[in-house]
Structure 1
Amino acid sequence: MIAPRAASTADRLKSLLLYPLPHHGLSRLVGRITRIRTGWVKGAMIRAFVRIFRVDLSDAEAQRPGDWRDFNGFFTRALRPGARPLATEPDTVLSPVDGTLSAAATVQAGQLIQAKGRRFSLITLLGGDPSLAETFRDGAFATLYLSPRDYHRVHMPEAGRPLRMIHVPGRLFSVAPHTVRAVPGLFARNERVVCLFQGQRGPFAMVLVGAICVASIETVWHGVITPPAGRRVRAWEYRAATPLARGAEMGRFNMGSTVILLYPRGGAAWRGDLDSGARLRMGEALGRRG
């Protein structure tokens, strides 16, 4: 079991400041700012961001501010070909992102670990669908956090065909580690997009969790899903969707957040040498298919 540590008093105090903020209003404002195309404004934002967050652009397809249409183009930048080789073993579950492993464990009694002493509901995470939650009851989950400096496209952990997508409206708390430790049920409270796939060995799901300043979430087969945020759960069924290859891009965050992988019972076993806080690159082995 890989789980993050418990919240400290400092974590709780910092997180309290988030509750009264207009999460969606701030995020939409950030979305507009990051799409400014004025050359000097865009360039200044990109250079400042690279300096503050120590962003490594050596693997990026483009590397100069002028190469991107706007800040969001820089943030969702593509990698140069071959920058993320895929683990070669065919039964490997790939890391779908460049990010930090927050937790990797088994769903127990319909609950997932968020932090030490904190769990959240599988059925709530999946938008309140009991039959879908039953698919992953007692299954395996892994939570990966994308920091501001990370590559922000999301890829397939294995080959799969999209079956269903669910947009669940919610709040947009930060998903920084200190907030995850402090805010109860954060991943099941934040806005999120649940993507269900059929793989060669059975179903699996990816949950793309929004966060404050995440101006939108999109998938390659649908495009932008949010905004608008809305107040009701929306769902799409796919009967003849084109399968996505192992390691192929499946979506992206326009600003960063978290991805939760879900497998049915016996569907996946995570690597035993990984601890909470381990850094992973897209395409690296996260575990093995059951």
Structure 2
Amino acid sequence: MKQPHLSKVLLLLLVTAFLGLLVFTGCETEKEVIKTEEVIVHDTITVNIISVDSIFATPDSVTQGKSIMLTADVTTQPEAGALTFKWFAEAGSFDNAEGDTVSWTAPDSAGVYVVSVHATDGEFIGIGSRMVGVDMFAPTVTPYYVSDAACSQCHPGMHDDWEMTGHAEAWAGLMTSSHAGPSCFPCHAVGYEPQPNTGNSGHDEAPIDKFVDVQCENCHGPGSDHADGPSPANITVDWDALVCGKCHDGEHHPYYTEWQDSPHGFDPATSAHGAPANSFCQGCHEGVAAAYRLSGDVSS
């Protein structure tokens, strides 16, 4: 009578054991395995085997046709071999263009000249350069003023037009004036801008021919960077009336002040009836184009 009951108990125990085994096996298959990998990051460090740290000039400026001594200051790494030097200049001449110290004779024209040197062991090379002033201070910052002659190399047509304007005769006109004085120079020569600092690239050089008259850089700012690599990004193009007003104003000809007080110079924010504003002077003062407009012939 008790045998069937015992069989049921044994069967229940077997089922329970089987289910426990399944649960245990399932837990084993879900076991998390963590693996650690070592990652090594390599930084690349550039080392100049030969480096021209600076070029010393004695003296640091020179008069036309005179000579100065130039010395290359070079740092080398242990793997560098014996060095040879080669000097270059955009004008003037060297007594000997080889060696770490050379004598350079300045050209006959005042200005700023770039002198450079290549130092090499035949495998590696270091290059250095500096500016030397001839009858003027060498600029201590960039960009610096380069004069209308540099601009004319790429803009000959615009330069020809400029030569027909009063701006191209600004210095000569001042020199014939009975009241000329140093306070007049900023508006009759290039390089008197207080900002940006141009490293004496114009202020001390007004008597030099290349920096007289109202030139391209009076409106466009110092152009050495643009001359070295022409790009719209490295030259100033500013249509604001104050570009003209900084000179065309004051006691002798208060044109900018008069313009500000006239209907031409009103502030568009305060204008009535949405009338258009003329925020610059060039529309009536840019030579041939202005002549067409003033004549009424705007077909061109």
Higher RCO (C-alpha 8 Å, min separation 6): 1
Which TM class, normalised by the smaller chain length? Answer: under 0.3
Structure-1-length-normalised TM-score? 0.24
TM-score, normalised to structure 2, is: 0.23
Based on CA coordinates, which of the two structures has the bigger radius of gyration?
2
Q: Which has the higher helix share?
A: 2
